[in-house]
Amino acid sequence: MTRKKQIIVPIVILIAGILLFMAFSSMKKPPEEKAKIDNTPIVAVEEITVAPMTLTVNSYGIVTPKYETEIVAQVSGLVVELSETFVRGGFVKKDQLLARIDPSDYEAALIDAEANLASALAALEQEQAQGKVAEREWKQITDASPTELSLRKPQLEQELARVKAAQASVLRAKRNLERTEIKAPYDAMIEDRNIGLGAFVGTGSRVGKVLGTGTAEVRLPVADNQLKFLIKQGENAEVDLVGTYAGIDTTWQAHIARSEGVIDNKSRMSYLVAEIKDPYSLSTSQEEKKTPLRFGSYVNANIFGLSLAQATKLPRYLVVNNKVAILNEESKLHFVDIEIVRQEGGDVIVSSGLAHGDQLITSALDYPVDGMKLALPGDKSENIDAEENKETDTQIASVKD
């Protein structure tokens, strides 16, 4: 009996242990599955826009008149009249009177010259008549050929010379009388006036200075290596001049009239000259008047050059060995060869290699490899939401069971 107990008791204990283990195992919850970690690099992209583009060359300059003239007195005398517009900043038209010098002496000189001319003409007529009488008398006296002296031809030539001298004196007197009126040589703005009413001026005295308002110029320095971006090195190119008027940014249209054809010794720049017609809008109608472009203004210039059929602008730091990284349709990195036409500061102009709508990768990658899988920030969010929804559905199903 005792032997049987020794055999049965261990068996019962073993069976009880197995049953307890099974009971406890059924009560134990299964370990939670850890979410898979997505190590796909996240990148930022920018959609590329490809469109026609016109290259420009930037420059700067000071607005100056094409013509400026120092006006001097050509005759001497007292200033007896001054125009109201003959003041600094005044606008005058071509041939408009600026000042008048006392013409009395010059009128008297003209009368005297005309009198001398009349006397010379009378003497010439008298000499011509005497010459004819001498020729007729000579024929009645002898059949020999008369000499020039006998026909009074030297005397006639002398009287002709006196007439010409008298005519010259009249022209000089008229011209001096006209010069008593100081007039504007062209449409202009008065920069300076150096005489006053009642002042005495001598021949050659400085009267004032005028600036032509018909055309303004701006000398634009351009680096020699930038001329290749202009058609015919800028000949007849259109230009936008940007400056300020009354504190407001304003743009004026101009064109390149000429190149100075030399390189400046100091700046090593080539100079293109832009012209602006009627900078003060004096010749336009009231409806078409534009903002005046004042002489002395500092302006920035955009010179329009070559036109590209398809081009885009990219940050320079994204280009490595003439290649850029894009995100293709399969969300993979792809390096594209590009053709750089020009560098503008921190940007480059690309003429080929990229298509409209390409996704340019703008964020940095530690170890970029062509063909590597990439993701966008929005893609990660969608994947996380999908995983959370899946876990929620699983938990709900477990509770229902």
Instruction: Characterise 233 by phi-psi region: left (phi > 0), alpha (psi -120 to 50), beta (else).
Output: left
Long-range contacts, 68-71 (Cβ 8 Å, 24+): 68/191, 68/209, 68/210, 68/211, 68/212, 69/185, 69/188, 69/209, 69/210, 69/212, 70/206, 70/208, 70/209, 71/98, 71/182, 71/185, 71/206, 71/207, 71/208, 71/209, 71/210
Whether 121 contacts 236, CB under 8 Å? no
pLDDT of residue 59: 94
What does the pLDDT look like over 49-106, one tens digit per residue?
A: 899 999 999 999 999 999 999 999 999 999 999 999 999 999 999 999 999 999 999 9
Query: How high is the mean pLDDT in each 10-residue block of the chain (401 residues)?
Result: 64 71 64 63 85 92 95 94 93 94 93 90 77 63 61 72 89 94 94 92 93 95 90 91 92 93 88 94 79 94 92 89 86 87 88 86 82 76 50 44 45
Query: Rounded distance, CA 146 to CA 141, Å?
Result: 10
Q: Is the pTM of this model over 0.75?
A: no
Q: What angle do CA 116, 120, 122 make, to 5 degrees?
A: 120
What are the extents of the domains in the chain?
A: 45-50+319-378, 57-65+214-306, 69-101+181-211, 103-179
Taking alpha carbons only, the member of 382, 314, 395 closest to residue 353 is 314
**Could you name the CATH architecture of 57-65+214-306?**
Beta Barrel (2.40)
Six-digit token pair at 91?
């606008």
CATH class of 69-101+181-211: mainly beta
Whether 98 contacts 86, CB under 8 Å? yes
pLDDT of residue 63: 96
Type of residue at 125: E
- The alpha-helical segments, DSSP class H, found in 40-152 are 104-141
pLDDT of residue 35: 57
Distance set, CA 204 to CA 179, 183, 294 (Å) = 12, 15, 30
Query: Rounded distance, CA 366 to CA 326, Å?
Result: 15
Does domain 45-50+319-378 fall under CATH 3.50.50.60? My reply is: no
